Structure 1
Amino acid sequence: MASDKRLEETPRLNGKRSSASLDRAITYLEQQPDSQTIHASVDHTQLVRRIDRHIVPIALAIYTLQVLDKLDINYAAVMGFNPDLRLVGNDFNNAASSMYIANVIAELPTGYIVQKVPPGKWLGLNIILWGVVTASTAAVHNFHGLVATRVVIGILEAATTPCLMLIIGMWYTKSEAIFRFAIWYCGLSIAQMLGSLMSWGFQHVHHDSLSSWRIMFIVLGCVTAAAGVWAIISMPDSPMDASWLTEAEKRAAIQRVAVNQTGIKNTHFKWQHLRELVLDPQIWLLTCLVILTSLSSGVVSFYSTTLIRNFGFSSQRSALLNIPSGAVSLISALATAYIAHRYNARALSMALFTCFAAIGSGLMSFLPSYNRAGLLAGIYLVNAITPNLFLIFSLTTSNVAGQTKRVAANALVSGAFSVGNIVGPQLFKPKDAPQYIPAKIVLLVTQIASAVLALSLRLYYGWKNKEREHEGDKEIENIEWLNLTDQENKTFRYKY
């Protein structure tokens, strides 16, 4: 085989290599001897636009629906949800956390499965199933039934972020990817605004047999399942499998992302990649950042509407007053993406917008209860931290190479997001109602810690790049397709 011959001519790194170490993309390219000529003949601007049309809308829709299906109990809480299910004490918090506990547990097998199966098809299947379960929540009548549905949704949603991170990394260069991450992560902002409007709208729907919140769950579930069918039909598993690209465009799509040095598709599982993952400082900095950031996003997800209602507003008005939270998230995401890309300042952008969120937590913590305008401003400003998550996803995709290590890192970062969301709702103890001052102060402290960690990450990446500049690069043929990790490949440079 041509790939075996090429591998024999390649310098050995870290011991014996086999053809299994090669990325599937290089094998595909070698089937076409004049692929460089074909690559040059393709209009790359048109190619990127075609890729955007087939990838970005699906990713945006999927993430919007995932967030909506997480936020639905936040909106249902002001629609008679708690008394209908006889939730008392800490029941609501426990139900919110149960979904993320299941999500954390499911991330480990998900990381392995995603490397082995077509990610687009696996994602679509999970979306259909969680849509069915979301709709089934309308049939729940007690706490135990609610927990059961949230646990299943948590398991099924575990595939979403790792699959989207993997797919974006297959199709876009590192500089292009950040805007695509920003676009699909805007699904959070859209979901916040759309969810608020849905809650307000469904509160005007009255039916003799079904409560308004039950009708809302049925509608959301059906829309989600339909999106899953769309994903199975339209979301490509890799550039090699995209039916809407010509052979020339497939090869051009592969060659244009070779600069990433992170590969496209390799199902060969490598234990040494996992060992390196455990010992890699960037992984733990990213993981801690996600946990601290998601503490704040957990508040946004589950308690923003309740906090607003506790300021003395009606349920319907509380839903509408939560809309600016989504607007702040949207503006922050787009501004962060621009700054991060324009000035190559991903980590610094995280630190900056985390400071805005800390100002919001300070307002919520220390303003008097009669200053409703200031308290509302505080809730809105906390949403400035949410873009940190897509920047962390972008950094993980850009800076972690080696297929097994990359897939495991995606799963670990996704699991860390769930850890923060497990802890977040538990901070809001019923005995601290209605102001929940201890929880708000904890958020302020964790946001300051997030800013410090983001700056530490920037310093780490800068140090690693300078270290490699001093070492010098060794020329190795097709090194970008050898399934090397970012630490094994000394020509690899980190984005920060």
Structure 2
Amino acid sequence: MDWHLMPVLTLLYLFCFLDRGNIGNARIEGMEEDLHLVGSQYNWALTVFFFTYTVFELPSNLILKKIRPSIWIPTIMVAWGVVMTLTGVVTSYYGLLIARLFLGITEAGLYPGVAYYITMWYSRHEAQLRQAIFFSAASFAGAFSGILAFAIGKMDGVGGYSGWRWIFIIEGIATVVVAVGAYFLLYDYPDTASFLTNEERAWILYRLQLQWSDNGNVVPDTIEFRWKYVWDAVCDWQVYLGILIYLAMVCPLYGISFFLPTIIKDLGFTSSVAQLLTVPPYVAAAVAAIVSAWFSDRMGQRSPLLLFHLCCIVCGFLVCLAGSLTWVPGVIYFGVFLAVLGIYPAIPNLVTWLSTNLAASHKRAAGMAMYIGIGNFAGAMASHFYRTQDAPRYILGHSLELGFALMGVICVIGMRVAYQRINARRVDKLVALRPEYTIDELRAMGDKSPTFRYMF
């Protein structure tokens, strides 16, 4: 099953994050000068992406529940590939803003959609490894983006276009090509997958039902859509605490992905060397994400390793601050390296943790879109953390990232304690309550069912 699903999903997200973050590479290849960007205009070009990205994530996930994933996901990918290609021919600041707004609309559905899609195939005790493999594409995109930008930057002047324009054009065309292939390679759900036998389909579906209980009681999931499940997600406390934790990690994520080339260049390196120096942290982070996910799945717990990764982020930005205050470029680079090692393993850990604690499937789709969508608004904030006037030390940016990471540590501890207490209460009350409910009533209750156990 892994070989039929994960390579395609990982490739899709690689191009998604490549197209989202390549503006950072284009910046140091002359984009600001050609478009006459001044002051905070570059930062606002980053920010407007998240306005539409945040708004369209929930509608996109609801559409995914209505339309086959093998149709919807490649379609939005074709759309953002076209937008990315056209970004390469913008001639003004306002043209860049419009392109980024449309990129937010078209990319909005991929990450929450695929994160939800994985939960429809894998149980919560095995999902994090797959989420990590999928999300590792973001790390590889960061590494590949630097190498690709280094190579494409040499095309400066070809066809009368600057090198930064070719970064957008070539990567956009490649995205469309991959999207067309995805129409033929992506499957929908286990009950319709052609590569599975009837026995394999039945076994996968049974395991997905059994995962919500720790005592062998099957908690059936809902099939029909009801707006009640969307409302349940809107009213669920764990979604909002999850948003705070997601904010704590997405601020550092976008601060790094948008500004790492600039931060490294301001340490005294040329543009070409800065592009290449972005590669090692991302490669190491991709490996760390997969190794961490493997251990987390084996442990059957999410919060311990999530806390460890958040502490890595905290330590990384503390080192960055120390290096900036004393101006030791090597220390700053090491701090960024350490922060990246914490960021990229932490996000699939959190997404898996929160998604597998939401049931039924329609509530999960809505809840995931909410915390990923609202949480990604952190990207709009992070777009202004590293300001031009703060170069080259970026004390403000590093300090803000540190503060968000510390908030994440506190919220993760709070969520773990809450889950433990709820599970303990349900164990005490299960024997008395269970005869009162029918299977249909348990189905409708989702994660509020007395047989449901939260993973922590």
TM-score tier by shorter-chain length is: over 0.9
Aligned to 1:493: 453
Are 1:256 and 2:207 an aligned pair?
yes
Aligned to 1:361: 317
CA contact (8 A) 2:143 2:278 kept: yes
1:352-407 superposed Cα distances (whole Å, 9 cap, x missing partner): 11111111111211224541110100111111123221112101221100233111
Amino acid at match of 2:227: K
Aligned to 1:319: 275
Amino acid at match of 2:421: W
Are 1:268 and 2:231 an aligned pair?
no
- State which of 156, 169, 176 in structure 2 corresponds to 1:218: 169
Are 1:244 and 2:204 an aligned pair?
no
- State which of 41, 66, 69 in structure 2 corresponds to 1:119: 69
Structure 1 Cα separation of the partners of residues 20 and 331 of structure 2: 27
Pick closer, same or farther for the CA change 1:338–1:248 going to 2, 3 Å. Answer: closer
RMSD: 2.0
Report deviation, 1:349.
1.1
Are 1:339 and 2:300 an aligned pair?
no
Structure 1 Cα separation of the partners of residues 190 and 334 of structure 2: 45
Pick closer, same or farther for the CA change 1:267–1:73 going to 2, 3 Å. Answer: farther
Where 1:173 maps in the other structure, the secondary structure is: coil
Pick closer, same or farther for the CA change 1:140–1:480 going to 2, 3 Å. Answer: farther
Aligned to 1:471: 429
Structure 1 Cα separation of the partners of residues 384 and 33 of structure 2: 20
Structure 1 Cα separation of the partners of residues 232 and 2 of structure 2: 33
CA contact (8 A) 2:80 2:107 kept: yes
Pick closer, same or farther for the CA change 1:339–1:244 going to 2, 3 Å. Answer: closer
Amino acid at match of 1:451: V
CA contact (8 A) 1:259 1:480 kept: no
1:272-296 superposed Cα distances (whole Å, 9 cap, x missing partner): x334323322111111111121110
Report deviation, 1:344.
2.7
1:168-196 superposed Cα distances (whole Å, 9 cap, x missing partner): 11111111111111111110111111111
Structure 1 Cα separation of the partners of residues 99 and 319 of structure 2: 36
1:403-442 superposed Cα distances (whole Å, 9 cap, x missing partner): 3311111111221332111100112223222222112111
CA contact (8 A) 1:203 1:212 kept: yes
1:226-283 superposed Cα distances (whole Å, 9 cap, x missing partner): 2222222221221122122233332233223221348677342232x33432332211
303-312 or 228-237: bigger deviation: 228-237
Amino acid at match of 2:35: L
CA contact (8 A) 2:247 2:404 kept: no
Aligned to 2:235: 279
Structure 2 Cα separation of the partners of residues 115 and 186 of structure 1: 25
The 4+ residue runs of structure 1 with deviation greater than 6 A are: 262-265
CA contact (8 A) 2:136 2:344 kept: no
TM-score normalised per structure 1: 0.85
Structure with max Cα Rg:
1
Amino acid at match of 1:337: A
TM-score normalised per structure 2: 0.92
CA contact (8 A) 1:182 1:390 kept: yes
- Tell me, which stretches of 5 or more residues in structure 2 are unaligned? 213-218
CA contact (8 A) 2:234 2:367 kept: no
Amino acid at match of 1:492: F
Pick closer, same or farther for the CA change 1:439–1:370 going to 2, 3 Å. Answer: closer
Amino acid at match of 1:408: A
Aligned to 1:442: 400
Report deviation, 1:484.
3.5
Structure 2 Cα separation of the partners of residues 410 and 370 of structure 1: 41
Aligned to 1:417: 375
Amino acid at match of 1:253: I
Structure 2 Cα separation of the partners of residues 351 and 406 of structure 1: 23
